[in-house]
Structure 1
Amino acid sequence: MNALQNNDVPTILSGHANWITPELCTALSEYPLDSVGTEYPHFARVVESSDDSIQPSEDHPVFYGCFDWHSAVHNHWCLVRQLRLFDDHPEESAIVSTLEERFTAEKIEQEAAYLADNESFEKPYGWAWLLRLVSELSLWDADRAEKWREMFGPLEQRVVELFEREFLTQDRPFRVGTHDNSAFALSFALDYARVVDDDALETAVVETSRRFFLGDKAYPVEYEPLGWDFLSPALTEADLMRRVLERAEFQQWFDGFVPAITESPYDSILEPVDVKTDSDDGLELHFVGLNLSKAWSMAGIASTLGDHAVAEPLEKSAQRHVEHSLQLAFTEDYAGAHWLTSFVLYLLTRNEGGIAPEP
C-alpha cells in the first residue's frame, strides 16, 4: 500500500488522522464501497426446509452485503467515520450516494423488525458494531448524520434492549478470539453509552465487566491464538478493563492479570502471528485482523499504564504488529477484503473520538 510507505510506524500507530492522505482515504473506502453492495457470496443462516429460500437483501435491505451482517455493519461504520474525519474525501460523493441508498426509514425499520423476530441474531458481535455505527453518527456534527441517526432510532433501541436483556444478564463471559468474545462486545457498548450519554447502560456495562473479569489472574496468554482468532482474548479483555477501571486500579489489575508478560513463555503474545500469504484458506486472513486488533489493544493498554514497566514493551510490540500486517490488510482476496479495512481504520484513528472515550 504505497500510501503508507512514507510514514513511520509510530505516526501510523498514533491513532490520529492528520497524516492520512487523499490517496490513503481512497484506499480506505475502496473495499467497503465494493463490499456493502456485494450480496453473494453470503454466509447463510440455517435452511429450515426445501421451500426455504435465502435472499439476504430481502431480510436485510441495509446490511445485506459483505458476506455477513456484522461485516456489513462495520463497513458502513467505516464509511461513516471517514466522512466525519476526512474533509474533502476524494470518494465523498460515492460514499454519500451509497449510504443514502441504504439509510432509509423503511429499510432500517425492516432491520429492526428482523431482530424483533430473531432475538439471538448476530449476538453479540453484530450488536456491538451496530452500537459503534450509531455512536459514530452521534459524534458527527452534520445535517445528514442527524437525519440518519434519527432513522436508526428503532434499530438502535432494539439492539440496546437486547443487549441489556440477553447479554448483560449472562452468568459468565466467553473468552474466545472470535465473534462471541464478551469483552469486545462490552467495550463497544461502553464506548457507545459514553458517547450518547446513556448513564444507565454505562453503569450496567461497567458492573457486568467487573463481575466478569475483575477477579481474573495469571491469564494463560501463551495459549493464544486458538483456532482462527481475529481477537486476542487476553488483550481484548485488558482493553476493556482499561476503560472500566481508574488508572491506578487498572495498573494493579494488569499486574495480576499477566504478571510475567515479558518473560518466556508468556512473551509469545508480544509477537505477531505469522500469516501464510500463499494459503488458499481465507481463514488465514483472520490472523491479519488478529495482529491489527492486538496492535490497537496493546497501544491503548500502554497509554493507560503510563510509566508502568511493561508499557514500553507493549508499545514496541504494537509497532511490530503494524509492521507485520498493515500492508497485508489491503488484500484483494474477498475473504479478507470484505472486513479488514474497518479494522485498519479503527487502528489508524483510535484517538479521533468515539473509541475508548473518557467517562
Structure 2
Amino acid sequence: MNELPPSDDAALIAGRSDWIGDDAAARLTAHPLDGVDTEYPHATGAIDGPEDVTPPRERHPVFYGCFDWHSAVHSHWCLVRALRLFPDHPDRDEIAAGIDERLTSERVAGEVAWFEEHGTFERPYGWAWLLALAAELDRWDDPRAARWGDTLRPLEERIRSLVRERFLPMDRPFRVGTHGNSAFSLSLVLDHARSVDDDALERSVVETALAFYRDDADAPVGDEPRGWDFLSPALAEADLMRRVLDADEFAAWFSEFLPEVDALPAPVSVADGESGVALHLVGLNVSRAWMLAGVADALPAGSRATALRESAVEHARRGVDEAFTDDYDGSHWLSSFVCYHLTRNEGGIGIVE
C-alpha cells in the first residue's frame, strides 16, 4: 500500500491540506483514468439467457469499464470533479479527450436503451451516482461541462424517472452496508436535486427520508460492520438526515439516534494480502470519515462534535492510506471514495443547505 505524506488533522477533515496539489490531483485520478477504459475483468450484470455473451462495450457504450457499471459512473464523476476543482490538472487533456470519446449522443442512447429493457439494473446505487455525475457537470461553469451535460441528459432524465418510479415509492429502507443502502443513495439524489434546482424531486426525497428515518433511535452502530460493508448503515442515515432537518431538529434527532458518541466504532483493519470484497472495508473507513465529519459539522460545537471529528480523522488516516492499492479489486473504485472525502466541502457535496 502507498502512504500519504503527513497532513494536519483539521485540514484533512476540511478537505484542505498540502497533499491536495498537482501531484495529489493526478494521484486521485490515476486509477479512474485507467479504469474507465478497462473493459475486462467485468462483472456479468444482467443476463438474458445462456446465449447472452454480449461484451460490456455493447451493453454499456459509455460506462463499460471499472469492472461494473456503477464504478465506471463514479469514476467519471471523480474525473469530472478533479477537472473542475484542479484547473491545472496535469492530465487534463487526456481526461477530457477520453470523456469526449465515450460521451457521445449515440453511446448515451445505447445506455438509455439498456435501462428501457432493464428497469431495476443498478437500483439504487448506480442511479444515485449517475445523478451525482450529472450534478457535478451542472456545477461546473465550463463549455465542455455544458456539452457533456447536454449529451448525458437523456440518461440523466431516464434515471431521474426511475428514481421517482422505482426507488422513492419503496415502502421500507434497506439498512445494509453495501450497494442497496437506501440512505446513501437518497443523499446523492438529494444533492443532485438541489444542485439542478429540481424542487419536486427534492421534496420527494425529503418526504421519503422522513418517512423512513424520522422516528429512528438507538442506532446499533456498535454492530457494524456486518460483513464486507463499504458503508455504515447508521452513519449513512445520519449523514442523510443532516441534509433533511434544520440544525436544531437534527441535533435533537441525533441525540436520540446515537446517544453515546463514545461508543463510535474504531476503524476497521484490513489484513496484509487481503483482496476482493475484503477491500470493501477500506472503503468503509473512508466513507465513515466523510459521514462522521459531515455530521460533526451539522452539530453545535461541543464534546459530541469533537468526538465525531476525532473519529473521522482516525478513519480518514486509515482509509485514505490504504485506498491507493494497485489491486484491481480496490483500484477500480476506491479513488472515487477518497475524492469524495477529501473534496467534500467543495461544490455542494456534504454541505448542509
Q: What range is the shorter-chain TM-score in?
A: over 0.9
Structure 1 position 244, deviation (Å): 0.3
String of CA shifts for 1:259-301, please: whole Å, max 9, x gaps.
1231xxxx1x33101111222x311110100000000000000
Q: Does 1:313 align with 2:313?
A: no
Partner of 2:64: 64
State the one-letter code of the partner of 1:276. Answer: A
Map of 2:283 onto structure 1? 289
Match of 2:340 among 334, 343, 346: 346
Which deviations, in whole Å up to 9, do the C-alpha atoms of 1:137-177 show, x marking residues without a partner? Answer: 00000001001111111101100100011111010000000
Contact 1:131/1:188 (8 A) holds in 2: yes
- Contact 2:231–2:287 under 8 Å retained in 1: yes
State the partner residue of 1:211: 211
Q: Which segment is superposed worse, 301-310 or 81-90?
A: 301-310
2:324 alignment partner in structure 1: 330
Aligned ranges 1:1-359 → 2 under 5 Å: 4-16=4-16, 20-262=20-262, 267=263, 269-279=264-274, 281-359=275-353
Q: CA RMSD in A?
A: 1.5
Residue 356 of structure 1, CA deviation: 3.1
1:358 deviates by 4.4
- Spell out, residue by residue over 1:9-29, the C-alpha distance to the aligned partner (whole angstroms, 9 max, x if none): 322221247861111111111
> Displacement, 1:69?
0.1
2 CA distance for matches of 1:297 and 1:158? 29
The Cα shift of 1:3 comes to 8.3
For the 8 Å contact 2:8–2:17, the answer to whether it is kept is: no
Structure 1 gap ranges (5+): none
Q: Distance in 2 between matches of 1:64 and 1:160?
A: 21
- CA deviations over 1:88-133 (Å, ceiling 9, x no partner): 1001111011111111111111111111111000000000000000
CA contact (8 A) 1:61 1:107 kept: yes
1:354 to partner: Cα distance: 2.8
In 2, Cα distance between the equivalents of 1:201 and 1:295?
28
Provide the C-alpha distance between the structure 2 equivalents of 1:248 and 1:2, rounded to a whole number of angstroms: 41
Q: Compared with structure 1, are the counterparts of its residues 18 and 247 closer, same or farther at alpha carbon in structure 2 (3 Å cutoff)?
A: farther
Deviation at 1:251, TM superposition (A): 0.5
User: Amino acid of the residue matched to residue 225 of structure 2?
Assistant: P
Q: Shift of residue 308 of structure 1?
A: 4.2
- Return the alpha-carbon distance in structure 2 between the equivalents of residues 41 and 65 of structure 1: 9
Distance 1:6 1:358, change over 3 A: closer
- Give the TM-score normalised by the residue count of structure 2: 0.97
SS at 2:66 equivalent: coil
Q: Which amino acid aligns with 1:298?
A: L
Name the CA shift for 1:351/1:27 in 2 (closer, same or farther; >3 Å).
same
